[in-house]
A = this chain, B = another copy of it.
Amino acid sequence: SWNGFHNLLEFAKKAIAMGRSDPRKFIFAAKSGLAMALVSLLIFWKEPFDDVSQYSIWAMLTVIVMFEFTVGATFIKGFNRGLGTFFAGIMAYGFVALSKLAGHWEDVIFVISLSLTAFFASYLKLYPTMAPYEYGFRVFVLTYCILVVAGQRTGEYSEAILSRLALIALGGLICFLVNTGIFPIWAGEDLHRLVVKNFKDLATSVQGCVNAYLECLEYTRIPSTIVTYQDAAEDSVYASYRAVVESKTREQTLVNFAVWEPPHGRYRMLNYPWRNYAKVSGALRHCAFMVMALHGCVLSEIQAPPEKREVFSDQLQKVGTEASKVLQKIGEKMEKMEKLGTDTILKQVHTAAEQLQKTIDQNLHHLVNPENWQSRKHSNQLQTSQSLPVNHDPENAIKKSLSEAIVDFNPIRKLMPWPSCLLLEGDPTITEDEAKTYESASALSLATFASLLVELVARLHNVVNSFEELSEKAKFQDALVSSPGA
């Protein structure tokens, strides 16, 4: 019991901490309490319409069901609720007319009408394009049910239907006024923050990934959470790019809410281009998939030896840092809602990428196995399935001694899982060939890392383009010229 009390106290502390870190949550709850208090006053309304007090519950229920965190979400729910209620009202009057005709069979009509309504609403809401109106369908059946049951029980349909519709509308109105009038919480603002956060996350991830590769970070055992793409908070590089990839659903929800919101705060424009935020974030995600592939190289079973990485270290580092800077900078520009300005933001990262490519070009001997390279002269035609005869001519030996930087030993740091099944079959002839194959694979893996990094740089172009499109459409302010002399 003491333990339970302790846990409760812990929970209370954490709950209060939540409100401190994001006061909007506290504000939301307070507004929700206020709306409830306002609507609950209806019960004391005695004159001139006693109905208001009697059916005040419907206004309360509307508030409970419609009160959402952001303005946009409240709008959508309100719209759904309005549509559902409107059609339910029409249907209810239709039912009244029908049941009057039916006379004696009124009760049967009552049951059938409810049943059919539930059937059609349930069926239609499964139709793909109807999914956003799921809530509307539910409200429709709910309201229809309330109206018809009220009418059936009292026999005074018109009065029952009208009084309830009026109270639902009143509840909706209170909900709307409280939610938009007092400290409104905007989905658009949330979307803006989310996209900015994605930029910063990916910048961190790119830098971290390149660092991990150059520090030859060894995953002695790759966490199974990563290989099965589960949540793994302890790996910050993984967690950062995963956050970018996973934010897709939330982003889409926020866009859907934001487009319903009127101009507000820093987004003073009709038809604010919220969908372009999703587009920028999508282009960023396209980059995030490249970071994933880069991280794949870090995780890979086939690894280039540290000595080889050392050769390209400066260039790889430079490209990583510059790419990270670009993302960081666009993120800051977005945060401040500034245009990119006239100087090409990509210039430095492109230069760095070219330098990297050039260095690879000049140091290809680090990437490929020179023995095989020389043997090309003797075995020019394609030898696919046979093993290659190793060439031991003296010229080759000299060449090898000339190139001191070549380190071809022990290029594979870990036992790869996939050849092991072959080795187990006890075919001794395959072993030497295999060893060569993996040496070469390990060297090429460095080329792959570099190649992917260059591709990442190429993809930054899309991010810049979509950001420029957004900054035009959203009329971001012009970049402040930092050096007035320029």
Contacts and interface: CB of A to CB of B under 8 A. Distances in A.
A350 B418 contact: yes
Interface string A168-186: 0000000000000000000
A116 B33 contact: yes
A31 to B, nearest CB: 8
B227 A34 contact: no
A411 interface: no
B111 A37 contact: yes
Number of copies: 2
Contacts of A279: 228, 230
Nearest to A139: B64
Contact of A123 (B29, B53, B149, B359): B29
A216 interface: no
Contacts of A249: 249
A459 interface: yes
A407 interface: no
Nearest to A116: B33
B33 A354 contact: no
Would you call the interface of chain A mostly helix, strand, loop, or mixed?
A: helix
Contacts of A19: 123
A296 interface: yes
Contact of A18 (B112, B127, B361): B127
Contacts of A368: 364, 367-368
Nearest to A398: B377
Given A43-B149, A53-B153, A364-B373, A459 B227 contact: yes
Interface residues of A, number: 149
Contacts of A286: 226-229
A416 interface: yes
A57 interface: yes
Given A32-B122, A402-B377, A452-B448, A228 B462 contact: yes
Nearest to A54: B153
B421 A44 contact: no
Nearest to A300: B455
A118 B35 contact: yes
B285 A229 contact: yes
Contact of A448 (B64, B152, B230, B447): B447
A34 B123 CA distance: 13
Interface string A404-423: 11000000000011110110
B418 A346 contact: yes
A388 interface: yes
A372 B364 contact: yes
A283 B121 CA distance: 38
Contacts of A358: 384, 387-388, 433, 436-437
22 contacts: A29-B122, A37-B118, A43-B149, A60-B149, A61-B145, A64-B141, A228-B280, A228-B462, A229-B248, A290-B296, A296-B455, A300-B455, A358-B384, A360-B444, A361-B369, A361-B440, A362-B372, A362-B382, A364-B372, A368-B368, A380-B403, A418-B457
Given A314-B384, A447-B447, 9 more contacts: A18-B127, A34-B115, A35-B118, A61-B146, A246-B248, A354-B434, A360-B440, A361-B440, A418-B457
